[in-house]
């Protein structure tokens, strides 16, 4: 996964501003509805002018929040009008009253918008086990709708945050001859330590014309190579949700084979970029770490090894400290279940080879320390067991992480 | 696993002092051999008066340190005379020179003791990828042997430590009628965060008479229920080693069915107690957490769930903070792969029920905070999916953990 901000886009694509409202046919907003004690924004809306096709993918946790279960069911329609997201309260482990609360919120929004309740998708993030302050939230719905606009995308991106430090939003414009479409998105992050239970939420909008089943298939495919390649295990929280909405307003249809290709590439790029932003904003993270495993016997082993190294608290604290205690990388690789001969093991930090033929070799420690001080560090683990490779993106583990997660109130 | 220090021993058993020299036929010692920069003790010896039966179990990591590979081979003899352990350097990822170094150490000790080289077992712990300062260590071997005695068990227990805060040793005396035998042991610990790569070393001595194969079988069986039930994954480090040596000096034979029963129970108790000491001394740990999963569909799921909760950084930071953010426990349980109906989920903290029928219930927060301030906290996760249960012992995650592991030098 690429993680440099300046990475090469095809000539047909360019980054634009606008987040979830970059695509035509959408407005957004975020307000403070008093869910968070901090009074920070905690209620977000993404609203389509007309019903749009919609798809979603969700957590695989056995414990799923009320909004997840409701949205799953509503997406069977394949058509939606609005996404309502609150932060500060996950509405999970709230039993049957949690369902009623979530439905009441949706009903209030539906009534204000004069649309069917079933066209509203819901997501929540925050503390588990606490009820939503429904009537307080409902009192803010008219304000949320009235001031929604195509310039309020950052307000929406801010209102979905929990322990994240900054809003995360991206948008791409794709021009193919005289045709043009846009894809934008926003996301909220994550604890960046595995197995992470911090919720990952993402809303993607496009003005391309795309069927719901098509959107869902692409989301599922690209999640594997984007959100599921960051050490936040996307399927671990009780509330993880990725929505995609397509207005078709650009007139560009993904049923056209060429346009499909461009759309898929752009969607993947948007998801990739959002995944990188999630890692960069990981709790207490000061730098990125990409773990790239090559020469593995099969793809499963390559991924298992990349995850094991990327998730190792000892590797992550090593990165925070800047001291190349490279044995920790080898030990994590050896514990991953990947099969390799120790004599074939090679490990690199940036361009520097630090382990060769299964032994730590002489390397310029000052130079490697310098590499480890960069904003982004690539750790390579090379076997000679096959031709498979995988990479996982992670970040360092600082004392700040513990501070944030210890003090996050229930 | 019991973790209170005052837990009930059968009338036949009592805790005694003496660690690895409590059993007759063994002396021990620990000295500073200049491996650690800190000049703290870093070379330990457990020496039997005569050759004794010996068994060991080792890490399952693909990357194994030179002393692990050498000791494995030597144990095929089933007979040993001495265990030489150094801390400060793992002698791992050191290639063929690492083997030569380890063998040279063993040879020097064998020569001084005038015994065959093959009767010396080796273990190392410390930084991976650095060579042992062999000649410096060899210069301290005569001192190590000369001052070895049956009162120097704590010196040995101290010399095997790395980031541990205190030596960990125990001993039991078992009296059955007029027969009496002893089992003692020492261990070094561990990072207490999973998947931990901190090395676990343990040496157990007894004056019971036991065959090597019998010892190994018991070690293997009890490791499953002791060291492998603490969140330190015992098979993850490159150097994990558990040795057991039996001198037979008590005249009590484990071939006798009654004595076998008593011996097995005592060995298990010693290993259990050492496992608890390892957790209590976990890096930066301020309290113990026992996660007990009941009502699981099968034993595998019960253990997976207990581990997932016990290893969850969010649960561990919750415990450090003292704030009952109980949704984190449910989310970890849901992410474990265990199958259960959310309506059946019940979670307890100490005696307090905090989640009932899949929803967080009203509970006395002040009382639960008080429970979480105790030195030891039991978290119960109850399904109604079957009759299986498992428990795992862990500890909280404090900022201190990161400080220790960030600053541990390579």
- Given the residues A21, A154, A162, A199, the one annotated as active site: A199
Selected residue with higher pLDDT from B207 and B317: B207
* Domain presence at residue A399: yes
Those residues whose C-beta lies under 8 Å from the C-beta of residue B128, and which sit 6 or more positions away, are: A325, A326, A327, A328, A330, A331, A360, B65, B90, B92, B93, B238
- B172 and B307 fall within a common domain: no
Distance CA A151, CA A18 (A): 7
- A237 and A294 fall within a common domain: no
> A25-39, A104-118, A321-335, B361-375: which range is least confident on average?
A321-335
User: Is A129 in Cβ contact with B410 (below 8 Å)?
Assistant: no
- A215 and A102 fall within a common domain: yes
- B254 and B371 fall within a common domain: no
User: Is B410 in Cβ contact with A345 (below 8 Å)?
Assistant: no
Percent of chain A with pLDDT over 90: 71
Query: Mean per-residue pLDDT for A73-90?
Result: 96
* Domain presence at residue A138: yes
* Domain presence at residue A5: no
pLDDT at A233: 39
Q: B221-233: string of b/e by CB count within 10 Å (b at 16+)?
A: ebbeebbbbbbbb
Q: Are strands A241-246 and A201-206 parallel, antiparallel or unpaired?
A: parallel
Domain containing A392 equals: 288-407
* Domain presence at residue B4: no
Block residue for tokens 């900054």: A166
Task: Identify the closest residue of chain A to B130 by CA–CA distance.
Answer: A360
- B112 and B146 fall within a common domain: yes
> A38-42, B235-239, B299-303: which range is least confident on average?
B235-239
> A199-213, B236-250, B303-317: which range is least confident on average?
B303-317
pLDDT at A232: 46
Percent of chain A with pLDDT over 70: 91
Does the structure's ipTM exceed the value 0.90? Answer: no
**Residue after which a domain boundary falls, among A259, A280, A301:** A280
Whether the pLDDT of residue A194 is over 70: the answer is no
Distance (Å) from the C-alpha of residue A204 to the closest C-alpha of chain B?
Answer: 25
> A347-361, B201-215, B278-292, B385-399: which range is least confident on average?
B278-292
Q: pTM here?
A: 0.82
- A227 and A338 fall within a common domain: no
Tell me which chain B residues have a C-beta less than 8 angstroms from the C-beta of A296: none
* Domain presence at residue B129: yes
Number of domains in chain A: 2
- A134 and A228 fall within a common domain: yes
- B265 and B195 fall within a common domain: yes
CATH number of A328's domain: 3.10.20.340
Tell me which chain B residues have a C-beta less than 8 angstroms from the C-beta of A235: 335
pLDDT at A3: 43
**Residue after which a domain boundary falls, among A233, A257, A280:** A280
Tell me which chain B residues have a C-beta less than 8 angstroms from the C-beta of A407: 321
Active site annotation includes B163: no
**Residues B167 and B186: beta-carbon distance below 8 Å:** yes
| pLDDT band for position B3 (cuts 50, 70, 90) | very low
Closest in A233, A333, A402 to B402, CB measured: A402
pLDDT at B234: 34
Percent of chain B with pLDDT over 70: 91
**Residue after which a domain boundary falls, among B230, B252, B280:** B280
- A267 and A301 fall within a common domain: no
Whether the pLDDT of residue A235 is over 70: the answer is no
Beta strand spans in B128-275 (E): 168-176, 179-188, 201-206, 241-246
Tell me which chain B residues have a C-beta less than 8 angstroms from the C-beta of A373: none
Distance CA B25, CA B1 (A): 31
Task: Identify the closest residue of chain A to B65 by CA–CA distance.
Answer: A331
Those residues whose C-beta lies under 8 Å from the C-beta of residue A395, and which sit 6 or more positions away, are: A192, A231, A279, A280, A282, A285, A286, A287, A288, A289, A316, A319
Closest CA to A190 of A82, A59, A17: A59
Assign B371 to helix, strand or coil: helix
User: Is A317 in Cβ contact with B360 (below 8 Å)?
Assistant: no
Token pair, residue A370, equals 């310098």
CATH number of B272's domain: 3.60.70.12
| pLDDT band for position B196 (cuts 50, 70, 90) | very low
Alpha helices in A187-298 (DSSP H): 212-225, 257-280
* Domain presence at residue A2: no
Whether the pLDDT of residue A81 is over 60: the answer is yes
pLDDT at A193: 41
* Helix (H), strand (E) at residue A188: strand A179-188
- A163 and A252 fall within a common domain: yes
Closest in B128, B314, B407 to A197, CB measured: B314
Query: Mean per-residue pLDDT for B168-175?
Result: 97
What are the CA-CA distances from residue A315 to residues A291, B214, B410 (Å)? 11, 38, 12
Tell me which chain A residues have a C-beta less than 8 angstroms from the C-beta of B328: 128, 197
pLDDT at A407: 58
* Domain presence at residue A4: no
> What percent of chain B is helix, strand and coil (3-state, nearest 5)?
35, 30, 35
User: Is A318 in Cβ contact with B62 (below 8 Å)?
Assistant: no
pLDDT at B323: 86
- A35 and A117 fall within a common domain: yes
Whether the pLDDT of residue B325 is over 90: the answer is no
* Domain presence at residue A392: yes
pLDDT at B233: 39
Task: Identify the closest residue of chain A to B309 by CA–CA distance.
Answer: A195
Task: Identify the closest residue of chain A to B192 by CA–CA distance.
Answer: A313
Whether the pLDDT of residue B321 is over 90: the answer is no
| Three-class HEC string of B148-189 | CECCCHHHHHHHCCCCCCCCEEEEEEEEECCEEEEEEEEEEC
pLDDT at A284: 66
Task: Identify the closest residue of chain B to A128 by CA–CA distance.
Answer: B327
Block residue for tokens 């650095």: B130
Distance CA A20, CA A207 (A): 11
- Given the residues B59, B154, B162, B199, the one annotated as active site: B199
State chain A's mean pLDDT as an integer: 90
Token pair, residue A110, equals 């539906």
Closest in A95, A335, A403 to B236, CB measured: A335
DSSP B255: T
Distance (Å) from the C-alpha of residue A383 to the closest C-alpha of chain B?
Answer: 12
What are the CA-CA distances from residue B119 to residues A81, A257, B183 (Å)? 77, 72, 21
| pLDDT band for position B107 (cuts 50, 70, 90) | very high
- B91 and B168 fall within a common domain: yes
User: Is A311 in Cβ contact with B63 (below 8 Å)?
Assistant: no
pLDDT at B141: 98
Distance CA A36, CA A127 (A): 10
Whether the pLDDT of residue B36 is over 70: the answer is yes
Tell me which chain B residues have a C-beta less than 8 angstroms from the C-beta of A342: 62-64
């Amino acid at each position: 996964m690429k993680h440099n901000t300046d990475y090469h886009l095809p000539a047909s694509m360019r980054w634009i501003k606008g987040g979830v409202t970059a695509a035509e046919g959408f407005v957004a907003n975020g307000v403070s509805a008093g869910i968070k004690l901090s009074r920070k924004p905690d209620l977000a809306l993404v609203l389509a002018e007309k019903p749009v096709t919609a798809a979603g993918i969700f957590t695989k946790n056995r414990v799923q929040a009320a909004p997840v279960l409701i949205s799953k069911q509503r997406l069977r329609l394949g058509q939606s009008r609005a996404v309502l997201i609150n932060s500060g309260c996950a509405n999970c482990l709230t039993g049957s009253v949690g369902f009623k609360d979530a439905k009441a919120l949706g009903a209030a929004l539906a009534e204000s918008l004069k649309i069917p309740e079933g066209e509203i998708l819901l997501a929540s993030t925050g503390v588990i086990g606490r009820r939503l302050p429904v009537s307080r939230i409902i009192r803010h719905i008219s304000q949320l709708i009235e001031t929604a606009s195509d310039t309020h995308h950052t307000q929406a991106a801010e209102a979905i945050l929990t322990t994240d430090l900054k809003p995360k939003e991206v948008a791409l414009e794709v021009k193919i001859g005289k045709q043009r479409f846009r894809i934008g998105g926003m996301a909220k992050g994550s604890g960046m330590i595995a197995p992470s239970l911090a919720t990952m939420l993402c809303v993607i909008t496009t003005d391309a014309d795309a069927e719901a089943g098509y959107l869902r298939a692409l989301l599922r495919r690209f999640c594997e190579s984007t959100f599921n390649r960051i050490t936040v295990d996307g399927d671990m929280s009780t509330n993880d949700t990725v929505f995609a909405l397509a207005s078709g307003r650009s007139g560009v249809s993904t049923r056209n084979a060429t346009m499909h290709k461009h759309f898929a590439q752009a969607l993947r790029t948007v998801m990739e970029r959002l995944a990188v932003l999630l890692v960069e904003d990981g709790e207490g993270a000061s730098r990125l770490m990409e773990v790239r495993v090559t020469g593995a016997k099969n793809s499963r082993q390559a991924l298992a090894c990349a995850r094991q190294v990327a998730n190792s608290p000892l590797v992550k604290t090593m990165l925070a400290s800047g001291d190349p205690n490279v044995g920790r990388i080898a030990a994590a690789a050896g514990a991953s279940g990947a099969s390799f001969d120790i004599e074939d093991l090679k490990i690199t930090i940036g361009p520097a080879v630090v382990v060769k033929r299964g032994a730590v070799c002489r390397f310029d420690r000052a130079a490697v320390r310098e590499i480890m001080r960069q904003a982004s560090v690539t750790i390579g683990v090379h076997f000679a067991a096959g031709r498979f490779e995988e990479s996982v993106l992670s970040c360092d583990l600082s004392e700040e992480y513990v501070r944030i997660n210890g003090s996050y109130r229930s």
